[in-house]
Amino acid sequence: MANSTDPIGEIAELDLENPEHYTAHRGEEWVRWSPSEADARVTEEAGEYLRFVDSSCDLTMRGGTTSGVIYPLAVCSLARRYVFRSVGGASAGAIAASATAAAEYGRFAKQPAEVPDGSVRPGFAGLAGLIRWMVSGTGTARWRLVQLFQPNTALSRIFRVLVALMQSPSTTGRNRLFCVLAALLTAVSRVAGAVLTLLFLGWLTAPFAVAMAMSPAGAGGLHPLWAVLAAVASVAGAGWLLRVSAGWFGLGWTVLAVPLTVGVLTLLVHGTNTDPATVAGWSAAIAAVITCWLVSTLAVAAAFAVIYGRACGPVLAEAERFRFGIVPGATPYHPTPVDRLAGVPASTGVPPLATWLADRLDELAELDGERALTFGDLWLGPDADRDTERDPSVLRNLAAGSGGRVINLALMTTDLSAGRPFRLPLAAWDGSGDRWQFCPECLDGIVGERVIRQLSTEGRAADTCSRHPECPLHWLPEPWDMPVVLAVRMSLSLPGLICPVPLHRGGRPHWFSDGGITSNFPIHFFDALLPRWPTFGLNLHSVDGEVDGTEEVFLPPQNSSEPAAPWSPIGAGAADFAGRILNTFLGWRDTMQSALPGFRGRIAHVRQGDGEGGTNLFMPPELIAELALRGYRAGEQLKVRFSTPGKDGEAPGFTQTDRYRWLRMRLALREYREISTQAAARASLYKERATKYPIPEALAGWFAEPHDTWPRQEPHGPAIEKTFDELGELADTHLAEPFDGTAPVNPVLRLTPPE
């Protein structure tokens, strides 16, 4: 439910499509420094370094399908104060992260005089333009969000049913039950449809026929007690079925009750025109009519289930043939009149999601659209010439470490075949092991043709595709040449709805699905023991009912209190319980990470009520605008907290960015003390024995320089021994006692594998 009376007008008043709001530092050299370059200048150019650091931030965004409309204006709010150095996310957060990185790339680009309808300006003005485009449509164009999700033609009947289940008179103006019936009747063969139609007509007329055939005067032969009990039982059964249908279809239960109502009214009229009847007669007649309705309703439902089970069986059994999803991402689909009956909006020229996203990313970055935006473009920054040959050694160094990247984009995906997460872009091939491959046929319709052509420049591998034996596999480009839109497509593959992305390794297929399966809110992406600046987080939080206007954004304080224990009601049904289990095993790590000191105070939680965000494709423009405004307010709260001197108890001249650094310094010192204490206590196990250990040839791959004879002596023995000595000295002097003033939560410093 919208909290603003005119959210679309309120967005227009913010004037976020004005490029001048984001170009305050145009022409200043430090704006396009990489973090490593800035660190190298800290001594000689201390003033510029401080400006660089205090004007920089990182950002991660949670996945949430249509909830991603919250992010663009939040980013615009932050962009008026900060330059984004690293941006990350998963699922819908990956879309927002890629758009943010592209807008940062195009921040100072030359602005066109006019922008064609459907296109956007470069930079963050264009990011705000995406929201304007979504909320400015009228008529069928009001549903631009759902029009981005275009199904595989072979699965359009299933998509039709899903869309029908999303209908509501309050939003789309359509009755859900009628749309579902239309979708179901047209989702099977003509013969099956004819059978279902006959069953449906029989269901409509059966109670009326029984009422006409029954005579309350002639039904009094049953014992009164049994007749009354039968009537009570039938009424109770009808009430239960109507309550269940009301939960599923809302006011659609009234349609389900039409045959029952007609039958009962017919019985009343017909019965009063015959001979007088006893209570037993009336009870028996009423029980017969209601029981007929119950039995016919359940029988028709069972028939529908059997027919649709047989129709869906082959699709489910051969899901791999359809790439395990309904929406490929870049396959155009034009709804038919039959689709319209089920509630699918007519086409208004909106392209499929992946095609639309590729075009918008290029526009935000001010690229010509011939070659899609790549990770290498972001790493080198907009000042590097895209048309000249780039130094491979420089690019390989950038792939190995993010410090030298001008704009760092990281996305999360899940390799279902390997059972593990991957951070995108994938690692560079070092010449050993299997290199990533792709099949152009497998990617056809997953991403656009121009992206596949761009991918195909690395040449062919010796293997052929297991899904398309006639098609040879191609080498996947190195990470710096990987189109950003392919990585986003790998992260947003919502299981069951949006197809996963198949890549290959060693000729074997790997299916990459939703990054949210393994980390839906990767707030840990850009963290360091001593961070330079905050990594802001935009999190999503669902609540039951409507969202109060005063509680639409929650920003936890950076104070000494214990983190608030998260709590959500489980609900009364088994589905609610199963949903909580799913949410817990998908998000427990992100939830715990977000509560740590030095983390929670920089994460803004944007609340959503019933029908807001999630998988609700039919949000009207007013609701999309309201959610976008909540995102803007979240960005404003983060910006004010971390950039306003003397706010929330800070001394004059200091901000909560300084408080954040103090928190992280204290946490880091506690970890340094733990390391030094371990080094002092366990030096006898490591200092001499490990440094004098004869290294076997099995570990030769750890060393860059070749060696003739194995086993070999530790080449860095003196440095290792000196390190243990100095760590032990710290444990006896500066870090002998813990500092007073420690956080109530003590994080665990562990070695963890990279994604």
136-183 pLDDT, tens digit per residue, is: 988 999 999 999 999 999 999 899 999 999 998 888 988 888 898 888
pLDDT at 2 over 60: no
Distance CA 742, CA 747 (A): 11
By three-state DSSP, how is residue 421 classified? strand
> Parallel, antiparallel, or unpaired: how do β-strands 460-464 and 472-475 relate?
antiparallel
502-535 pLDDT, tens digit per residue, is: 999 999 999 999 998 988 888 889 988 899 999 9
pLDDT at 1 over 50: no
Contact 281, 162 (CB under 8 A): no
Q: What is the CA radius of gyration of the chain?
A: 32
Contact 280, 224 (CB under 8 A): yes
Q: What letter represents residue 700's amino acid?
A: A
In this structure, what token pair is assigned to residue 405? 């990247």
Torsion angle, alpha carbons of 290, 296, 298, 303, to 10: 180
Distance of CA 307 to the CA centre of its chain: 34
Task: Match 């860059």 to its residue by tokens.
Answer: 704
- Kindly state the percentage of the chain with pLDDT values over 70: 96
Alpha helices of 115-257 — where are they, by DSSP H?
Answer: 123-135, 144-147, 156-165, 176-185, 190-213, 224-249, 253-256
CA distances from 468 to 229, 438, 507, 685 (A): 65, 11, 12, 56
Highest mean pLDDT among 294-298, 315-319, 743-747: 294-298
Please give the average per-residue pLDDT across 5-13, as a whole number: 94
CA distances from 274 to 216, 217, 292 (A): 8, 7, 22
Please give the average per-residue pLDDT across 464-476, as a whole number: 94
Contact 612, 619 (CB under 8 A): yes
Contact 466, 484 (CB under 8 A): no
Sign of dihedral through CA atoms 327, 152, 329, 150? negative
Distance CA 734, CA 307 (A): 76
Q: What is the pTM of this model?
A: 0.88
How would residue 276 be classed by pLDDT, with cut points 50, 70 and 90?
low
Give the residue with greater pLDDT, 592 vs 374.
374
Mean pLDDT of the chain: 89
Distance CA 152, CA 446 (A): 10
pLDDT for 317:
82
552-566 pLDDT, tens digit per residue, is: 999 999 888 777 777
